Amino acid sequence: MTKIVIIGGVAGGASAAARARRLSEDAEIIMFERGPFVSFANCGLPYHIGGDIQERSQLLLQTPESFLARFNVDVRVMNEVVAINRHQKTVTVKNLLDGSDYQQEYDFLLLSPGAAPVVPPIPGVDNPLTHSLRNIPDMDKIIQTIKMNNVEHATVVGGGFIGLEMMEAFHQLGIKTTLLELSDQVMTPVDREMAGFAHEEIRNHGVDLRLGTALSSVEYIPQSSIANQDAGESSEHQHLNGHLILTLSDSSQLKTDILIMAIGVRPETTLAEQAGLQIGALGGIYTNEHMQTSDPSIYAVGDAVEEQDFVTGAQTLVPLAGPANRQGRMAADNMLGRNESYQGTQGTAICKIFDLAVASTGKNEKQLKRDNITYEKVYVHTASHASYYPGAETVSFKMLFDPLTGKILGAQAVGKDGVDKRIDVMAVAQRAGMTVEQLQHLELTYAPPYGSAKDVINQAAFVANNMVKGDATAIHFDEIDNLTDDQLLLDVRNPAERENGNHLANDVNISVDQLRQRIDELPKDKEIVIYCQVGLRGNVAYRQLVNNGFKAKNLIGGLRTYLYAKA
């Protein structure tokens, strides 16, 4: 009878337990969870705070009782594993309810401890109004603070997934919100120019977004509250509240009623380190492709582990639910004698930011530059479905590829409709090893309510192939501000589109539809740098000019990419 001990009862741990039981009826499966809940919907926490998910009970997917009934798993909540004794193949467990300790034997141990919020040692940050959000008790505390402290202003530090979701939750509750982000963009999985769409969306909702701004110190101004029993208040209302004075890196100050620290997470490796398991260079638990740690009897999955990057083959940390769940299933397979290999992580991710979806897969340009990987890129802005059918929204799409092999390196998309679909398509294409040549031939669903006969992806592939084949010479948004005297900037949009100063400085305007008649107005000794709104008419003009002997380049993604890069 195989004894399987699992540390951590969410995502990876819960998946592993269920799979293990399906494979073996007689395995003994014990799952330890130091918190009071197992298998809760951690991705749903911000949405319950904001009110989208109304019932707290909806977040509790399984209970110890349901796990026992369905999977015969011995779930021990409020039981914390405090040591792994590898030589004895036991773990030391502390029962947090009665304080007692005991030993538990294992044949195989699975570590699924997750990752913990990083809270830097900022002076004053340890106070009753400052929270991070990782689990149900954290969520309950935030809700309690909102309720009890009459929160009128909230501050979120960190523009990642949780920071953005908490920002939206506060906004939805009618609370004025400031979002502080140290870098020059939110949502680091996408590149700066794609994040511009998110910045605009955030500011359009009245959120005080401060990029390049850090939190320097926190001052807690307490104010004690005495329950007004005449007004029906219970003793619950008798507590400390008050407000915070935040000092920011630009020396400005900000008064706020609640502070959420969401700058990132760090793998939980304490137990693994104490047990002498190998820790990777990035600080996660080392695992091989079977999700096995340096001790063959111990497996590890989820946010705590380092896994292989699908694109580069390097070690990476990707704290996301999808990989955690699949790794858990696979670890169970391998513990019970199967031979499953994890195939690497692309880091496919998506975040809802008000009405916008921001998503990506594979590597972004920042990472490619850092790793010295040769790449080319295209931008396409086109309708999520046939533009003549109601409800179409612009999908802004970026694709990164190897200019020699055409291999897909990464993709990013932003928009109000159809963003998840396009990134899913790219995630599959990348995983399958497809090239931008092959992407041209993709045959995706088309009817006016759902797509276009030439989908976003087909169009991006056409542009990329034009570049690979030399049919298009690209100029990118970040080169436009540095043109020389040997270059002439040509706007090929209609004059009406240029009204209210809506064009680049020092340009010339000839509409694409008049270009043949007016082509002689252009100099042959200069390079014509063509732009239009999104790059499509620019390409038509580009082809006309080069086929007429001009030197030319086309601004890929057009004015739209250029402008949002500054947003």
Binding mask 179-218 for its own copies (x = CB under 8 A): ----------------------------------------
Nearest-approach distance from CB 74 to its own copies, in angstroms:
13
Using CB under 8 A as the binding rule, whether residue 145 contacts its own copies is answered as no
Of residues 330 through 369, those in contact with its own copies by CB under 8 A are 342-343, 345-352, 357, 359, 361
Report the Cα–Cα distance between both ends of the chain, in Å, rounded: 60
Give 505: exposed, middle or buried? Use CB within 10 Å, 0-12, 13-18, 19+. Answer: exposed
For residue 101, count other CB atoms closer than 10 A to its CB.
10
Nearest-approach distance from CB 242 to its own copies, in angstroms:
33
Contact 342, 330 (CB under 8 A): yes
CA distance 489 to 245: 49
Among 336, 544, 551, 563, interactor with its own copies by CB under 8 A = 544
Number of residues in contact with its own copies under rule CB under 8 A: 90
Instruction: Assign 88 to helix, strand or coil.
Output: coil
Of residues 231 through 290, those in contact with its own copies by CB under 8 A are none
List CB contacts of 242: < 8 A, sequence separation 6 or more. Answer: 129, 149, 220, 221, 222, 223
Of residues 383 through 412, those in contact with its own copies by CB under 8 A are 386, 388-390
- In terms of CB distance, is 43 or 522 closer to its own copies? 43
- Dihedrals φ, ψ of 74, to 5°? -85, 95
Among 1, 26, 484, 496, interactor with its own copies by CB under 8 A = 26
Using CB under 8 A as the binding rule, whether residue 440 contacts its own copies is answered as yes
Nearest to 405 by CA among 434, 372, 439, 362: 434
Q: Which stretch binds its own copies (CB under 8 A): 46-54, 206-214, 227-235, 476-484?
A: 46-54
CA distance 350 to 411: 12
Among 2, 3, 24, 173, interactor with its own copies by CB under 8 A = 24
Using CB under 8 A as the binding rule, whether residue 441 contacts its own copies is answered as yes
Using CB under 8 A as the binding rule, whether residue 450 contacts its own copies is answered as yes
Using CB under 8 A as the binding rule, whether residue 522 contacts its own copies is answered as no
**In 236-331, beta strands by DSSP E:** 239-248, 253-256, 258-261, 265-267, 298-300, 307-308, 315-316
Using CB under 8 A as the binding rule, whether residue 11 contacts its own copies is answered as yes
Q: Which stretch binds its own copies (CB under 8 A): 372-380, 393-401, 446-454, 551-559?
A: 446-454
The two structure tokens encoding residue 139: 């969520």
Q: Which stretch binds its own copies (CB under 8 A): 58-66, 188-196, 226-234, 557-565?
A: 58-66
Nearest to 409 by CA among 314, 342, 476, 310: 310
Helix, strand, coil: what percent of the chain each, to 5? 30, 30, 40
Nearest-approach distance from CB 420 to its own copies, in angstroms:
4
CA distance 255 to 219: 9
Of residues 471 through 510, those in contact with its own copies by CB under 8 A are 471
Contact 59, 38 (CB under 8 A): no
Among 21, 76, 171, 377, interactor with its own copies by CB under 8 A = 21
Using CB under 8 A as the binding rule, whether residue 530 contacts its own copies is answered as no
Using CB under 8 A as the binding rule, whether residue 512 contacts its own copies is answered as yes
Using CB under 8 A as the binding rule, whether residue 66 contacts its own copies is answered as yes
